[in-house]
Amino acid sequence: MFTCECPMLEKAALLQSLTWCHCTAGYNKKLFELVFEIPVYVEILQSIRQGFDFCLLRVTFSKD
């Protein structure tokens, strides 16, 4: 993602924590689970709100 998709963070500056990004991770988790019909795990690797140029998420099939 090259823009922050979270409407709650539109006017936010850089953040120290990824806490606010967990809603994006949850949204992507649901999306991938619907597509693949299998549980997935979503990990936030980097965020625009931490100063990176884009958000990067790792999506892996869950072992649960």
User: What is the model's pLDDT at position 48?
Assistant: 83
Q: For 20-64, what is each residue's pLDDT tens digit?
A: 788 888 889 999 999 999 999 999 999 888 888 988 999 999 776
Is 26 a member of any domain?
Answer: yes
Cα–Cα nearest to 25, from 46, 3, 8, 50: 46
Split into its structural domains, the chain has a count of 1
Is 53 a member of any domain?
Answer: yes
Q: Pick the residue with more confidence: 15 or 33?
A: 33
User: What is the model's pLDDT at position 43?
Assistant: 94
Is 9 a member of any domain?
Answer: no
User: What is the model's pLDDT at position 19?
Assistant: 80
Is 33 a member of any domain?
Answer: yes
Is 28 a member of any domain?
Answer: yes
Is 4 a member of any domain?
Answer: no
Range of the structural domain that residue 43 is part of: 15-61
